[in-house]
C-alpha cells in the first residue's frame, strides 16, 4: 500500500499505478490552533510506502512523524519513505559556533521512522553517500540526470550545458556525456540568502543555446544571475532545468526579468514548470528494495 497526502496526490497516484498497488490519501484535519489530526486506513499491510516530497518541510516532517508512528501501531513492519525532494540537506556543517547541523539531525529523525528512504538528487556537498546523512537500513539516492538527458535530447541539437556552481558539475557532466554536448561550470560565491555572485567559465556563448542545469531553485538568485551573465555574453537564448522546483515567492519572476526563455523541472516538487515525471525512476528503486 502507498500512503500519501493531498498535496502530493498526482505524483503518488502515478507511482502507485506503476507499482500496481493501492494508493490512499491520508486524511488530515487542521485544528484551529494549528495542530493536525491524521487518519490512516486501518487495513495496513506489512510493507507501507509513504510518498511525500519534503518542500515546506517543517509541517511535512510532523506529518511524517504522526503517520509513520501510526502505521507501526496499526501493524506495519517495514516502512519505506519515497521523498523525491529531501529537505534540510544543505546545512551539513556548523558554519558558525552554535549552529544546528540540520542535515544530520533531520537525517537521523527520518532513519528512526523509516526502514528505507528513497530520494532524488539530494544535496550532498561534503559527504559522498546518502546513508552518511540518513542512516536508514537502505538509503537510496537516485539521479534525474538520465531523464533530463533524454528530455533535452528531444529539444536541442547542440546546446551549451551550464552548471551554476561546482556541486552542479555532476549533473551537467552526466547529461553532456550521454549527449556529447559541451558543458561548463561557473564559480559561485553566496554572500546572503538572496545574494550570489557568478563567474562564467571560459566558453564562447555568442549565438549559442544555453541550458542551465541545477538541483534546486529556491530564491532563484543563482539561476537569475547566471542567466543575466549568459545573455551579456550574447547567448542566443537561455533555458533552465532543475530537479527540485522550490521557487519561493517571486523566484520565477526573477528568472523572467533576467530573460529566461523556458523554465523546466522534474515533478519532484509540484510546480507549473514540471515537465519530467519521476515515477518510472522511483518505481524501479522501490522494486529494487525487495
Ligand atoms: C546550492 O548549492 C544549490 O545547488 C542551488 O544552487 C541553490 O540551492 C539555489 O538556491 P537559490 O535559488 O536560492 O539561489
Q: In this predicted structure, what is the pLDDT of residue 194?
A: 85
Take atom 1 of ligand 1 and give the residue whose Cα is closest.
216
- The CA distance from 65 to 67, in Å, is 6
Nearest-atom number in ligand 1 for the CA of 220 is: 12
What Cα–Cα distance (Å) separates residue 60 from each residue in 8, 22, 57, 162, 277? 11, 22, 5, 33, 21
Q: In this predicted structure, what is the pLDDT of residue 5?
A: 97
- Ranges of residues in the chain whose predicted pLDDT is under 70: none
Q: Is 28 exposed, middle or buried (0-12, 13-18, 19+ CB in 10 A)?
A: middle
Q: Do 238 and 227 form a contact (C-beta atoms < 8 A)?
A: yes
Mutation probe of ligand 1 site: the residue of 187, 216, 273 with most atoms within 8 A of C-beta:
216
CA of residue 223 to ligand 1 center, whole Å: 8
Q: In this predicted structure, what is the pLDDT of residue 290?
A: 77
Q: In this predicted structure, what is the pLDDT of residue 246?
A: 98
Q: In this predicted structure, what is the pLDDT of residue 125?
A: 86
Query: CA 81: distance to chain centroid?
Result: 14
Q: In this predicted structure, what is the pLDDT of residue 127?
A: 92
> What would the 3-class secondary structure string for 85-103 be?
CCCCCCCCCCCCCCCCCHH
Q: Is the pTM of this model over 0.85?
A: yes
CA of residue 117 to ligand 1 center, whole Å: 23
Q: Which triple of cell numbers denotes residue 95?
A: 558554519
Amino acid at each position: 500500500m502507498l500512503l500519501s497526502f493531498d498535496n502530493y496526490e498526482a505524483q503518488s497516484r502515478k507511482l502507485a499505478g506503476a507499482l500496481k498497488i493501492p494508493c490512499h490519501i491520508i486524511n488530515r484535519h487542521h485544528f484551529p490552533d494549528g495542530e493536525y489530526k491524521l487518519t490512516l486506513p486501518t487495513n495496513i499491510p506489512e510493507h507501507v510506502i509513504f510518498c511525500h516530497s519534503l518542500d515546506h518541510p517543517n509541517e511535512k516532517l510532523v506529518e511524517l512523524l504522526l503517520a509513520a508512528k501510526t502505521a507501526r501501531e496499526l501493524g506495519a513492519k517495514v516502512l519505506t519513505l519515497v521523498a523525491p525532494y529531501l529537505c534540510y540537506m544543505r546545512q551539513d556543517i556548523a558554519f558558525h559556533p552554535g549552529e544546528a547541523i540540520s542535515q544530520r539531525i533531520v537525517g537521523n529523525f527520518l532513519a528512526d521512522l523509516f526502514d528505507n528512504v528513497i530520494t532524488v538528487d539530494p544535496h550532498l556537498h561534503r559527504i559522498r553517500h546518502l546513508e552518511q546523512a540518513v542512516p536508514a537500513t537502505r538509503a537510496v539516492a537516485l539521479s534525474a540526470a538520465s531523464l533530463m538527458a533524454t528530455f533535452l535530447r528531444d529539444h536541442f541539437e547542440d546546446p551549451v550545458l551550464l552548471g551554476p556552481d561546482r556541486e552542479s558539475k555532476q549533473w551537467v557532466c552526466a547529461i553532456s556525456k550521454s549527449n556529447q554536448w559541451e558543458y561548463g561550470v561557473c564559480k559561485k560565491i553566496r554572500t546572503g540568502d538572496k545574494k550570489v555572485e557568478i563567474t562564467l567559465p571560459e566558453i564562447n556563448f555568442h549565438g549559442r543555446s544555453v541550458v542551465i542545469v541545477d538541483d534546486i531553485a529556491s530564491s532563484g538568485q543563482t539561476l537569475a544571475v547566471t542567466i543575466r551573465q549568459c545573455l551579456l555574453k550574447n547567448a542566443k537564448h537561455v533555458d533552465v532545468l532543475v530537479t527540485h522546483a522550490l521557487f519561493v515567492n517571486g523566484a520565477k519572476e526573477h528568472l523572467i526579468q533576467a530573460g529566461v526563455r523556458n523554465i523546466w523541472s522534474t515533478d519532484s516538487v509540484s510546480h507549473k514548470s514540471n515537465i519530467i515525471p519521476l515515477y518510472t525512476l522511483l518505481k524501479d528503486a522501490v522494486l529494487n528494495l525487495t
